[in-house]
Amino acid sequence: MIKLKPYSASILALGGFLLIAMGVYFIFLRPPILSEDYRYIGTTSSIVQENLPQLAVWLQKVFWVMGGYIFTTGLLTIFIALTSFRARTYGAFSIALISGITSIATMAVITFILDSDFKWMLSAFALPWLIALILYRFHK
């Protein structure tokens, strides 16, 4: 029989690192409006610029805030993974499960609803969470 090593904490920490990277992207690199945004709302950049000239400026600030929250979620996930999840503290599994569902899993589902160009990448970002939770349950 194959004995599973308790890698679940390291894999969950990887999920946290991916969130940190995503937060940095949203803060420093993400354009305020992507081509897929125009496609989804059925308009063009020139129409938006003409009718809502401050939208991009406002959205940039929204993404800075969102990026900060994503970064913080990743940081806290790494901390939980390397402390209470690794030590199998009571409630650690539930917290990891709920935080995964309400953060990266929700984001991944919404990208499919929006038919985002990034839907598969964000789904891949959710995989470490799922794998870590499965391994956690197998390792006693």
- Tokens 């308790």 appear where? 6
List the domain boundaries for the chain: 8-138
Contact 11, 18 (CB under 8 A): no
What pLDDT is attached to residue 122? 93
What pLDDT is attached to residue 139? 79
Kindly report the pTM of this predicted structure. 0.90
What pLDDT is attached to residue 5? 57
Backbone region of residue 115 per phi and psi (left: phi > 0; alpha: psi in -120 to 50; beta: other values) = left
Among 121, 124, 20, smallest CA distance to 70 is for 20
Q: CA triplet 17, 23, 29: central angle to 5 degrees?
A: 125
Q: Which residues of the chain have pLDDT under 50?
A: 1-2, 4
What the block records as the tokens of 19 is: 């969130």
What pLDDT is attached to residue 140? 65
